[in-house]
């Protein structure tokens, strides 16, 4: 159904860290015209949860979408280095897909938990394409055409997940740093459409994260689809064995098929 090959991103400073970012493509074999979705697993910016990565890419393939899984930097690497390299990864994802014949397709991000925070950061703090750049990757924008957020960490303020905050920003970060990484404050008229789901009794990442983000999208007249399920622990991933939240996948694909896939 899909073609899996690992492609390491050629970072200019790879020698500084053993934990270098990479993208693993999961492209449909027929290279059909279909959106591309970069999957960003959660893990509190301390690790990357497998069940929120590869299985999700394979599920997207089964539903007719190209995918990547992003292996992004985690602690002790922090803040702008994590975000800058992740934005470059989005540009690289566009560049690499076109080099493999998947041209002119929409590209979005799908993030879980802390990966949802990274997806939201990328969707609001993005770099425009630099058409005259010597680096062909930078000739592509890092702005996703859409973003999908699953029980996301959004705020670094009152409703944050402390582990994610500490791993990304360090202990006792300055207020300006907290505000600049609270995604509900970063939404603008240029933010892409979003699909969001969470559970009301999530004990790790309060549902207020999703509600605050949806409110910000509403205030800026950005299209979004919000689903809050009554029950469900944090970190469910595809939630295949969860009666209360299993429908999120169907709702997500329906939203993608209706609002994103049409050419």
Q: Give, in order, the Cα–Cα distances in Å from 90 to each of 123, 171, 203, 240.
A: 10, 28, 31, 28
Mean pLDDT, all residues of the chain: 91
pLDDT of residue 199 exceeding 90, the answer is yes
The predicted model gives 16-35 an average pLDDT of 82
pLDDT digits (tens, 9 = 90+) for 153-181: 999 999 999 999 999 999 999 999 999 99
Which backbone phi and psi does 164 adopt, to 5 degrees? -65, -45
What are the structural domain ranges in the chain?
Answer: 2-260
Give residue 12's pLDDT. Answer: 43
Per-residue confidence band for 236, with pLDDT thresholds at 50, 70 and 90: confident
Q: How far is CA 187 from the centre of its chain?
A: 15
The predicted model gives 13-34 an average pLDDT of 76
Show the CA angle centred on residue 124, arms to residues 5 and 110, nearest 5°: 35
DSSP secondary structure code for residue 191 in this structure: P
pLDDT digits (tens, 9 = 90+) for 89-141: 999 999 999 999 998 899 999 999 999 999 999 999 999 999 999 999 999 99
Residues contacting 30, CB < 8 A, separation 6+: none
Give residue 5's pLDDT. Answer: 46
Collapsed DSSP state (helix, strand, coil) of residue 101? coil
Q: Are strands 194-199 and 2-4 parallel, antiparallel or unpaired?
A: unpaired
The dotted CATH code for 2-260 is 3.40.50.1820
């Amino acid at each position: 159904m899909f073609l899996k090959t690992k492609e390491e991103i050629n970072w200019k400073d790879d020698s500084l860290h053993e934990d270098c970012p990479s993208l693993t493509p999961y492209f449909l074999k027929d290279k059909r015209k279909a959106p591309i979705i970069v999957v960003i697993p959660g893990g509190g910016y301390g690790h990357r949860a497998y069940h929120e990565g590869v299985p999700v890419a394979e599920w997207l393939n089964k539903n007719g979408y190209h995918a990547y899984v992003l292996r992004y930097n985690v602690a002790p690497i922090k803040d702008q280095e994590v975000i800058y390299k992740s934005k470059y990864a989005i540009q690289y994802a566009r560049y690499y897909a076109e080099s493999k014949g998947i041209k002119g397709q929409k590209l979005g991000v799908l993030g879980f938990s802390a990966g949802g925070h990274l997806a939201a950061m990328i969707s609001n703090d993005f770099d425009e394409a630099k058409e005259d750049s010597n680096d062909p990757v930078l000739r592509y924008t890092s702005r996703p055409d859409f973003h999908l957020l699953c029980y996301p960490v959004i705020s670094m303020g009152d409703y944050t997940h402390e582990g994610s905050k500490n791993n990304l920003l360090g202990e006792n970060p300055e207020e300006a740093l907290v505000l600049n990484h609270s995604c509900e404050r970063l939404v603008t008229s240029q933010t892409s459409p979003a699909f969001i789901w969470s559970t009301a009794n999530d004990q790790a990442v309060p549902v207020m994260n999703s509600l605050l983000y949806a409110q910000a999208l509403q205030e800026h007249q950005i299209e979004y689809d919000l689903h809050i399920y009554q029950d469900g622990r944090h970190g469910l991933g595809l939630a295949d064995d969860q009666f209360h939240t299993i429908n999120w996948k169907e709702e997500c694909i329906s939203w993608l098929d209706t609002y994103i896939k049409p050419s």
